Amino acid sequence: MTLETGNASEAGAASRGWLVGDLAAWATSRGEMPEANTPRQSTALEVKWLVHPPGDRRAAWADRDRSFALSVLVAGEMQLEFRSVAGIQSSVRLARPADYVLWHGPTYSHVWSTDSGCTILTIRWPVTPERR
């Protein structure tokens, strides 16, 4: 068995905050060296821990993808905007620790912003035929 300890901010620094997931594919797609031999390498689940500074924003809409995503606020506040494939827009504000939003990646693209800064934990897992 392997036991790995560390700091989520430091461990995810090379992969824009992504902590658990297919880190090798992520790194390879960017021409970087993948982390080898870590139990954090997974194709079934992705975990991201990110500390956003005040005024941080995602300028462009994130592409829809093939995953469910769950973002949980740890500290601070975050505003998320969602746009469905039908063009319907929704707004979600995470304001208290443990506030969360769960979305279906094939249906929604999103952008986010934080005026005060925040710490957020995001978990993604694949949409399967039985969970569309």
Sign of CA dihedral 120, 125, 129, 131: negative
Q: In angstroms, rounded to a whole number, what is the distance separating the alpha carbons of residues 95 and 100?
A: 9
The answer to the question of residue 4 being in a domain is no
Q: What is the pLDDT of residue 44?
A: 87
CATH number for the domain harbouring residue 13:
2.60.120.10
Confidence of residue 116 (pLDDT cuts 50, 70, 90): very high
- Asked whether residue 112 is assigned to any structural domain, the reply reads yes
The answer to whether residue 24 sits within a structural domain is: yes
Residue 86 domain-assigned?
yes
Share above pLDDT 90 across residues of the chain, in percent, rounded to a whole number:
62
Count of structural domains within the chain: 1
Q: How far is CA 84 from CA 64, 94, 100, in A?
A: 9, 19, 18
20 falls within a domain = yes
pLDDT digits 0-9 by tens, 102-112: 999 999 999 99
Residue scoring higher pLDDT (132 or 106):
106
| CA dihedral over 101, 102, 104, 105, signed as positive or negative | positive
Q: Residue 42's pLDDT band (boundaries 50, 70, 90)?
A: confident
Question: Which residue range forms the structural domain that includes residue 23?
Answer: 9-126
